[in-house]
Amino acid sequence: MYDASLPYSKDPHFLNAVIDTLEEGIVVQSDQGKIVGFNDKALSLLAVSADQLMGDSSNSERWTAIDLDENIIPTENHPIVLTLRTQQPQYNVIMGVTTGDNQLKWFSVNTRMTDVGEEKFVVAAFTDITQLIVLNKSLHEQNKLQLQIQDELEKKIKQLKDFAGIITHDVRGPANNIKKLLQVYESKKDEESGQQAFQYLKQASNDLYNNLNELIKLLQWHLDQKSPFSTCDFDAITNSVLVQLDHLIQQKYAVIYRDFNVASFDYAKVYLHSILYNLISNALKYSREDAPLEIRLESFMENGRVCLRVSDNGKGIDMDKFGATLFRFQRNTEVENDSKGIGLYLVQHQVNELGGYYFRNQ
C-alpha cells in the first residue's frame, strides 16, 4: 500500500518500478479478453517479447495449459477467464505452460477483478514453481517405486511361504512313505513283497529327488524370472504321485482311473506334481467307509485351454456351508476336523500363479 494523496502515487514510472521489482509475473487483461499490461518479470517467466504478449489472450494456442495430471485445461477454466466470467478471484491455481523457449514451466496463479472507471480488468499474478513441481513429481515417482519394491518383497515373502508349504506338506508325505517302504523292506527283504517294496523305494526316492530339483528350478524362476515351464506328461507325473501314495492306496483299496485325452502340456512340473499329489491324497484321506474308493483323473481341451479334472466318490464337503472357505489356508470343516487346508490352498495358488483358474462341482 502507499499514500494515494502523495504526488508519486500517480506517477506511472513509480508504479512501473514497483511492479517490476516483484518476483511474480503480472499480466493485466481487459474484459474483452486482451492483454493490456504486464511487468518485465512476466516477459522473463514466459520467455516472450513485449510485442508477442501485448494484445494476446488466453484463447491463444500459445497458452495451452495442463494440470498436474497433464490433462489440458479448457480455456474457459483458465483462472483469468474464470475471473472475467464470474468476477470471483482465483487462488493458487497450478498450471503447466509451454513458454516461448519451448520449456514446460509450472506456475501458481492468483487472479482478481479490478475496476478503472467504467472499465473492468483482471490482474493475474503468477509464480514459477517448476522446481517444486519437478521435485514433487520425482518424490512421487520414488515413492511409487518404493511401493513397487515393497509389493515385490511381499510377493517374494509369500512365495517363500508357499515354497515352505510345498516342502513341509508335499515332501513330508513322500518321505513318510519312503520310511514305511523301508520298514516293509527290512521286515520282508527276503520275500517277494520285500523286493517289491525295495523297487518302490528306489522309484519313490528318485521321484522325490527329481521333485526337489524342480522345486529349486521354480524358486530360481521367481528370483530371476526365467520360465519354469517344461513339457509335463500326465501319465509320468501321475505314476510318480501314485508311487509316493502307494501305502495309502493299498490301505484304502483305491482304484485309480485315468482318461488323459491331453497327454502332455507345458507347465511347471513341480506344481503339477503338487496339484495331483494334494488332490489324490485328499481323496484317499477322506474316503467313505461304506464304499470302495474310486478316483478319476481326466485331461481334456476346453475353450482352447488344457483342463485337468480330479473327482472321487469320497465323503465330500457341504459346499453351501464350506464352499467359500474351501481353498483358504488354516480352514476347518466338520468333515475335515484334522485338516488345516494347506493342500487345497497350495492347489489354488499353484493354478492361479501360472495363469490358470480352478472351478469345483457343486
Region 187-199: what's the mean pLDDT? 71
Flag whether 134 is in a domain: no
Residue 274 and residue 230 in one domain: yes
Crossing angle between the packed helical segments 192-224 and 172-188, to the nearest 10 degrees: 160
Residue 54 and residue 194 in one domain: no
Region 57-64: what's the mean pLDDT? 79
Flag whether 137 is in a domain: no
Mode of pairing for the β-strands spanning 104-116 and 72-73: unpaired
| Cell matching residue 241 | 504321485
Q: CA-CA distance, 79 to 93, in Å (whole number)?
A: 7
* DSSP state letters, 20-79: HT-SSEEEEEETTS-EEEE-HHHHHHHT--HHHHTT--TTSGGG-EE-TT-PEEPGGGSH
Residue 270 and residue 321 in one domain: yes
Flag whether 358 is in a domain: no
Q: Which of 103-107, 203-207, 253-257, 354-358 is predicted with the least confidence, judged by mean pLDDT?
A: 203-207
Domain of residue 172, CATH code? 3.30.565.10
Residue 197 and residue 63 in one domain: no
pLDDT 10s digits, 281-310: 889 988 888 889 999 999 999 999 999 999
Flag whether 138 is in a domain: no
- State if pTM tops 0.85: no
Residue 214 and residue 320 in one domain: yes
306 against 357, higher pLDDT: 306
pLDDT for res 276:
93
State residue 286 phi and psi, 5-degree precision. -115, 45
The model's confidence at residue 7, banded by pLDDT at 50, 70 and 90, is low
Residue 171 and residue 92 in one domain: no
Residue 187 and residue 316 in one domain: yes
199 against 328, higher pLDDT: 199
Flag whether 169 is in a domain: yes
Flag whether 202 is in a domain: yes
From 106, 128, 150, the end of a domain falls on 128
Residue 254 and residue 327 in one domain: yes
% pLDDT > 90, the chain: 33
Residue 190 and residue 313 in one domain: yes
Q: Which domain holds residue 107?
A: 7-128
235 against 268, higher pLDDT: 235
User: Across the chain, what does the average pLDDT equal?
Assistant: 80
Flag whether 332 is in a domain: yes
**N-terminal to C-terminal alpha carbon distance within the chain:** 81
336 against 174, higher pLDDT: 174
The model's confidence at residue 58, banded by pLDDT at 50, 70 and 90, is confident
Residue of 308, 228, 320, 316 lying closest to 268 (CA atoms): 228
Region 2-8: what's the mean pLDDT? 58
pLDDT for res 65:
92
From 88, 111, 128, the end of a domain falls on 128
Q: CA-CA distance, 191 to 176, in Å (whole number)?
A: 22
Residue 122 and residue 174 in one domain: no
pLDDT 10s digits, 117-165: 888 999 999 999 999 999 988 888 888 888 888 887 787 777 676 666 6
Indicate the length of the chain as a whole number: 362
Q: CA-CA distance, 346 to 268, in Å (whole number)?
A: 14
What is the domain count for the chain?
A: 2
Is residue 92 helix, strand or coil?
A: strand
Domain of residue 28, CATH code? 3.30.450.20
pLDDT for res 260:
96
Count of Cβ atoms closer than 10 Å to residue 288 Cβ: 13
Residue 123 and residue 169 in one domain: no
Q: Considering Cα of 75, then 80, then 83, then 84, what sign does the dihedral take?
A: negative
Residue 296 and residue 215 in one domain: yes
